[in-house]
Amino acid sequence: MQIMTLSPEHEKLYCVCLEDWSDEMKEAGDHKETWLRRMRDKGLRVKLAHDDAGEVGGMIQYIPIEESFVDGKGLYFVLCIWVHGHKRGRGNFQKKGMGTALLEAAEKDVRELGAKGMAAWGMVIPVFMRASWFKKHGYRKADSESMQILLWKPFVEDAVPPRWIRNKKVPDLEPGKVTVTALLNGWCPGMNMAFERAKRAASEFGEKVSFRTVDTFDREAFKEWGEADAIFVDGKGLRMGPPPSYKKIRQSIAKRVKKLG
């Protein structure tokens, strides 16, 4: 196994989370590519895990915490770590130590950059980005919100623990219409997919639906909303994990349109 820094050769693969075989990923549009271009000068770091045959099986992406979705200083933040586990496409690379190797490589990298520690988010339930997995690697709880745990591993004694940003703006509604407000950051193809589905579903109802986009790549916009990616239908947020299907989003909009009379 080799852990290597992202090269131009693998950027397209990285932008679809190694799922270049997936037709569903095509729904995500080019938002990740746009995000990658915008993040190049903001400290984005990406590493890929290659097996002995040179096949890419895992990835980790991390950024200065000042550019992330949490409050913190002097740390780096793991946006996600993903080892391909689907039978389709590249095949299953999980349970081979790739995730551990990626995390260790990222920690070594940011130590050399002078970071005071590493932070990550994790889920309480046993799904993607499990909090328990990070705890096994020396991370401890810094904050929590619902099913998400904010974890960190300080490298120095004066490191300050990160905190979730809890400001939550309520979407403005347009009288006489169903208002769909979509927050888009661009970092996650799954969230980008949900955004595109919402945009397409909203367009089917014509002038009965007002579709609004909030660019949360803008740090001030993100702080105002307190969320990087979200979809609100008349102010009610849809559950984003896993990304809602087009059918589910359309049904939510249709219910509100019906009430317009």
* Type of residue at 127: V
User: What's the whole-number mean pLDDT along residues 16-31?
Assistant: 95
What pLDDT, on the 0 to 100 scale, is given for residue 150? 98
pLDDT digits over 141-193, tens only? 999 998 999 999 999 999 999 999 987 899 999 999 999 999 999 999 999 99
What pLDDT, on the 0 to 100 scale, is given for residue 58? 97
User: What's the whole-number mean pLDDT along residues 22-41?
Assistant: 95
Tell me the average pLDDT of the chain: 95
| Topology classification of domain 178-258 | Glutaredoxin (3.40.30)
Per-residue pLDDT at 63 exceeds 80: yes
pLDDT digits over 179-238, tens only? 999 999 999 999 999 999 999 999 999 999 999 999 999 999 999 999 999 999 999 999
CA distance 151 to 141: 4
Q: Among 10-19, 120-129, 218-227, name the most confident range.
A: 10-19
User: What's the whole-number mean pLDDT along residues 49-70?
Assistant: 95
Please state which CATH number belongs to domain 2-163: 3.40.630.30
Ordered strands of the 209-215 beta sheet = 209-215, 178-184, 230-233, 236-237
Q: What is the pTM of this model?
A: 0.93
pLDDT digits over 91-105, tens only? 899 989 999 999 999
What pLDDT, on the 0 to 100 scale, is given for residue 72? 97
**Which residue shows structure tokens 């993607």?**
128
What residue ranges do the domains of the chain occupy? 2-163, 178-258
Contact 198, 209 (CB under 8 A): no
What pLDDT, on the 0 to 100 scale, is given for residue 127? 82
What pLDDT, on the 0 to 100 scale, is given for residue 172? 94
What pLDDT, on the 0 to 100 scale, is given for residue 168? 82
Output 85 or 62, whichever has higher pLDDT: 62
Q: How many C-beta neighbours within 10 Å does residue 147 have? A: 12
Span between the terminal Cα atoms of the chain, in Å: 61
What pLDDT, on the 0 to 100 scale, is given for residue 175? 93
User: What's the whole-number mean pLDDT along residues 5-31?
Assistant: 95
- Closest among 182, 211, 194, 180 to 29, alpha carbons compared: 194
Per-residue pLDDT at 90 exceeds 90: no
Per-residue pLDDT at 89 exceeds 90: no
Per-residue pLDDT at 261 exceeds 90: no
Whether 2-163 and 178-258 share one fold: the answer is no
- Residue 141 token pair: 């709880």
